[in-house]
């Protein structure tokens, strides 16, 4: 004869009901933690560390309960009392976890050392081609601080519309162009400045050659000459807006014969991120020998950010 009351979950036993509820809760918590990690990685790490500490404390209490149960028995020791005890221990574990200087802090520090890098230091200009189009030696994009991720999201949102207009002219995917602008400008942190400190809106780092009749900005840049990085003063094009910068980039891609292969490969389904980046390097867009690899990583980061923005 079963004296245990059925659970509210379709007549299942209390232990099974608790497992089912815990599974559903864990799935929701995991999804929330994953979404939170995109917005604020450090906060997600702290929450993860607290959960680890909670599990540890719960197991510690369970071990103590099991040792006590082994020394006592009686009518009050049944599935119902076990369920209540487990729930009480879980609540105790939550209350005891997350205190300053506790185990969660130790775990969080360890996780941060492994998974969260500080924002990369200011990059250097990677060098110019014979036609004067520079590259940027921005470090590869990996796990970032929450501030850096927010900067990247803001950059993608700010330039996506202009990139789509340029895509209509060139066939180059908008996400690729946003990523190239991000790579060249260090996600907007190292935009080329005018003499008065204002931005030139030149996010692609296009130099002002002999045929350029618009405004210019002179800055010190790093060029790779015969494989050696050297500091030089160069003249770059200055625009009235970011839209003008993207439009000029589109004209450069369309009108220069050296980039005809890049445009051909940029058609629907033709090449991926690596193919586009390698095509630009073969065409001589930048003299940095690692340009294609760096740009590929930034393109992949941009694609991940765009997916996160639409979910």
Q: Which residues are catalytically annotated? A: 223, 248
Residue 78: which residues within 8 A CB-CB, separation 6 or more? 3, 4
Which secondary structure element, helix H or strand E, spans residue 87, and what is its range? helix 79-96
CA dihedral 208, 213, 214, 218 (to 10 degrees): 40
Environment class of 30 (CB within 10 Å of its CB; exposed 0-12, middle 13-18, buried 19+): exposed
For 33-42, the CB contacts below 8 A with 24+ separation are 38/149, 38/308, 39/146, 39/149, 40/146, 41/115, 41/116, 41/143, 41/144, 41/145, 41/146, 41/149, 42/112, 42/116, 42/145, 42/146
Asked if 302 and 175 count as a contact pair (C-beta separation under 8 A), the reply is yes
Backbone angles phi, psi at 125, to 5 degrees: -65, 135
Return the closest-CA partner of residue 253 out of 280, 226, 222.
280
């Amino acid at each position: 004869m079963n004296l245990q009351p059925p659970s509210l979950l379709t007549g299942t036993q209390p232990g099974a009901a608790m497992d089912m509820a815990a599974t559903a809760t864990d799935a929701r918590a995991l999804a929330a933690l994953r979404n939170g990690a995109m917005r604020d990685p450090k906060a997600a790490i702290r929450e993860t560390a607290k959960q680890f500490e909670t599990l540890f404390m719960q197991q510690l209490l369970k071990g103590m309960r099991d040792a006590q149960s082994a020394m006592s028995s009686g009518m009050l020791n049944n599935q119902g009392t076990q369920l209540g005890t487990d729930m009480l221990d879980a609540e105790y574990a939550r209350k005891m976890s997350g205190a300053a200087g506790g185990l969660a802090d130790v775990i969080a520090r360890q996780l941060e050392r492994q998974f969260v890098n500080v924002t990369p230091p200011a990059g250097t200009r990677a060098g110019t081609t014979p036609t004067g189009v520079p590259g940027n030696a921005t470090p590869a994009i990996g796990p970032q601080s929450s501030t850096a991720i927010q900067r990247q999201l803001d950059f993608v949102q700010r330039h996506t519309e202009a990139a789509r207009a340029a895509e209509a002219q060139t066939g180059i995917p908008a996400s690729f162009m946003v990523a190239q602008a991000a790579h060249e400008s260090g996600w907007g942190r190292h935009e080329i400045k005018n003499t008065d400190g204002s931005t030139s809106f030149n996010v692609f780092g296009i130099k002002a050659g002999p045929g350029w009749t618009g405004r210019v900005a002179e800055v010190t840049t790093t060029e790779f000459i015969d494989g050696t990085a050297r500091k030089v003063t160069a003249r770059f094009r200055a625009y009235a807006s970011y839209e003008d910068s993207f439009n000029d980039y589109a004209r450069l891609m369309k009108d220069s014969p050296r980039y005809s292969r890049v445009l051909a490969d940029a058609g629907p389904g033709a090449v991926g991120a690596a193919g586009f980046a390698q095509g630009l390097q073969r065409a001589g867009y930048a003299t940095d020998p690692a340009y294609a690899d760096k740009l590929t990583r930034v393109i992949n980061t941009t694609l991940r950010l765009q997916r996160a923005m639409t979910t």
